[in-house]
Amino acid sequence: MTRADAAADPNWGVDAALGAASIAAKVAGGVASTVITSAPMKAFGGAAKWIAQPLTRQGATVRDSIATDGVPAAKDMIRRATPAVVDAIDLDTILDAVDVQGLIGRVDVDGIVSRVDVDGIVSRVDIDGILTRVDIDGILSRIDIGSLLTRIDLNQLLTRIDLNALLADVDLNALMTGIDLNALLTDVDLNALLGDVDMDALLTGVDLNELLTRVDLNALLANLDINAVVDRLDVDGLIANTEMGAIIVRSTGGAASEALDAVRSQGVSIDTVIARIANRVLRRDVDSLPEGPPLLVEQHLALPAAGVNPTDAIDARSAPRDDAADGART
Amino acid sequence: MSVTTAGTDPTAAVSRQGHYAGAATRLAAFAVDQTAITSVFAIGSAVAAWVIALITADEVKWDPDAAISGLVFIFWWFTYFAYPWSVSGKTLGMALLGIRVVRADGASAGPRHAVVRALALPLSFLTLGIGFLPIIFGRHRRALHDKIGGTAVVYSWDARGARWRFLARQQENDPTAE
């Protein structure tokens, strides 16, 4: 401050008084320090302490009473006064006056976080205990799955999933060994499942030629019981409805074969009649009679005697032998 | 032997392959065999006499009552039955009628069974035919010579072929018929 400025300031008097007081205080302090450390003052202090002993004891008693009774009384007074004080404080006004954003901006969040031992905190958390206290069913029951799923774009979600990478980490063998396929299949309604399958569309995409080239027909036929297959053929219908009949007629002996068939069939017919008469004469139980030698009968080489009905004259291997034999024995 | 027409089913009484053969079929087969034996023996005798006459310029006449003729005939008769039975189980007549000789348990008959059966066959005649009666009244339809030889006679005719031929003939004559 220049002299011109000091002349123009209206508070110059106050400032001058304060300056003088400051200088006087410093001087007094220096004098007091010198006086206090002097020998007469020390002797005077000891005498004053001896003389003030009754006052000292009275003062200590008062201080003890304040510590004993005054502190609880003060706490009680503070407890009673605090609600009124809090009510009197307008927090909104205070908070409006605080620049919260500026305050946050001055906080070093990264520094704080870096000083936090997250692993230690997590390791101290009893996750199982927390989960056992959670009512999962209650939570799920409050969730509207339908509306939740309608809000999810599954296509978008799936496009973000790398299924190859996901499946690469899956041990399918271990997964399959843990699956009880029998139990799984017993619960599957295959008819309903196949009913929904568009077989035409499915077969359209199948290259049967390629498929057949991969089939080991020799192994397949090795396991095939050709005799059983032939036995199931409706040869009668096949001959009656196809050109096989004409082929058979041309390839067989014709009249000679038919004559032989006639002679043999007549012989069998006469045998049947004779056996029937003999059984009636002897009153023999027809069912108890052996049909033929055990080895031939057990091997099912015998053909049935189907009576006079041509439609019954079929292979014994596909017809109940007992029923057929009754016609011959009775 | 009449030729069967397409209108009658030759398998109306179908054979029972592996079942015991009946008396009528066996008798018919034996008749065929006897005819064949006699015919072949007569023709063979005639041919032999002609060859001898050709070589020696002497006329040879066979006396049926002569011992040598009888022995040759018996040998021929025995051979005619024993050899086919040991090889295939059937003679010419049995093959025509669709029957064959097997062991009592159903296995194929061997030479021993065939020889014993052929040797025992005359016994059924020597008992005035009583040896054949079990074919009609016996439970296993085994004659005396069957029991001695340990054999049985069964149908070996598979009637399926006959039936198919019958159906084929019908289909050829009437393609619209089912």
**What value of ipTM does the predicted structure carry?**
0.80
CB A282 within 8 A of CB B137: yes
Residue type, A137: D
Of A244, A272, A295, nearest to B13 by CB-CB distance is A272
- Provide the pLDDT confidence category of residue B78 given band limits of 50, 70 and 90: very high
Residue A319 confidence (pLDDT): 34
Q: What percent of chain A has pLDDT over 70?
A: 82
pLDDT at A7: 58
Tell me what pLDDT residue B176 has.
62
Phi-psi region of B108 (alpha: psi -120 to 50; beta: other; left: phi over 0): beta
Q: Looking at per-residue confidence, does B53 or A3 come out higher?
A: B53
Neighbouring-strand partners of residue B103: B151
Indicate yes or no: CB of B169 within 8 angstroms of CB of A249. Answer: yes
pLDDT at residue A145, as a whole number: 81
pLDDT at residue B152 in the model: 95
Residues A244-296: tens digit of each pLDDT = 666 666 666 567 777 888 888 888 889 989 999 999 998 888 888 888 898 88
Instruction: For CA atoms A302, A307, A310, A312, give the dihedral sign.
Output: negative
> Can you give the pLDDT at residue A4?
59
Q: Rounded to an integer, what distance in angstroms lies between the CA atom of residue B138 and that of residue B122? A: 19
Q: Of A234, A268, A326, which to mutate for an interface test with B (greatest number of B Cβ within 10 Å)?
A: A268
Amino acid letter, residue A198? D
Residue (of A230, A267, A75) closest to B157 by Cα position = A267
CA distance A220 to chain B (A): 29
What residues 64-103 of chain B have any CB closer than 8 A to a CB of chain A? 96-98, 102-103
DSSP state of B86: H
The dihedral of CA B54, B58, B63, B68: what is its sign?
negative
Q: B38 pLDDT exceeds 80?
A: yes
Residue B154 phi, psi dihedral angles, 5° rounding: -130, 160
Judge contact between A239 and B168, C-beta under 8 A. yes
Say yes or no to pLDDT of B41 above 70.
yes
| CB < 8 Å to B133, chain A | none
- Residues in chain A with pLDDT values less than 50: 301-330
B73 vs A97, higher pLDDT:
B73
Single-letter amino acid code for the residue at B44? G
- The reply to whether residue A261 touches residue B8, judged by beta carbons under 8 angstroms, is no
pLDDT reported for residue B92:
94
Cα A98 from chain centre:
50
Compute the distance between CA of residue A6 and CA of residue A176 in angstroms, rounded to an integer. 100
Residue in B8, B17, B171 closest to A303 by CB = B17
Tokens 């006897």 correspond to B34
Both structure tokens of A159: 């496009």
Residue B115 per-residue DSSP state: H
What confidence tier does B145 reach under pLDDT thresholds 50, 70, 90?
Answer: very high
Closest residue, chain B, to A245 (C-alpha): B168
Q: Are A329 and A279 in contact (CB under 8 A)?
A: yes
In contact, B160 and A248? CB cutoff 8 Å: no
Hey, what amino acid is at A196? D
Is B28 an 8 Å CB contact of chain A? yes
Residue B150 has pLDDT above 90, yes or no: yes
